[in-house]
Amino acid sequence: MSTPKTSFAADDGQEVLDLGAIFAIIWRGRWVIAACVLIGLIVGIWRGYIVATPLYGAEVQLVLDPRDEKWWISKVWSAASPPRMR
């Protein structure tokens, strides 16, 4: 099986790429390309989520004061209201 010629010389001496031939080569090998992508994806997911141990960790603890339920309303209201005239 011979591969199609992907470039040829134009009349002015410059080399011209035949995009149709390049696309035909890629299209013929689409299953090989798809298999390589799928294998890479599976290995990446396996490595990232199953094998690798995390290097960093974090914990958060949120403490709410139940005595002051509407503290944010007084802060927002005082910031939004215009100053009072005496």
d(CA 63, CA 84): 35
> Which residues, in sequence order, are CB contacts of 22 under 8 Å at separation 6+?
6
Q: Is the pLDDT of residue 28 over 90?
A: yes
Residue 2 has pLDDT above 70, yes or no: no
Q: Is the pTM of this model over 0.95?
A: no
Question: What share of the chain has pLDDT > 90, as a percent?
Answer: 29
pLDDT at 54: 79
Q: Which two tokens stand for residue 79?
A: 């910031």
User: Is residue 35 very low, low, confident or very high in pLDDT (cuts 50, 70, 90)?
Assistant: very high
Region 12-40: what's the mean pLDDT? 90
Mean pLDDT, residues 7-28 taken together? 80
Tokens of 53: 């141990």
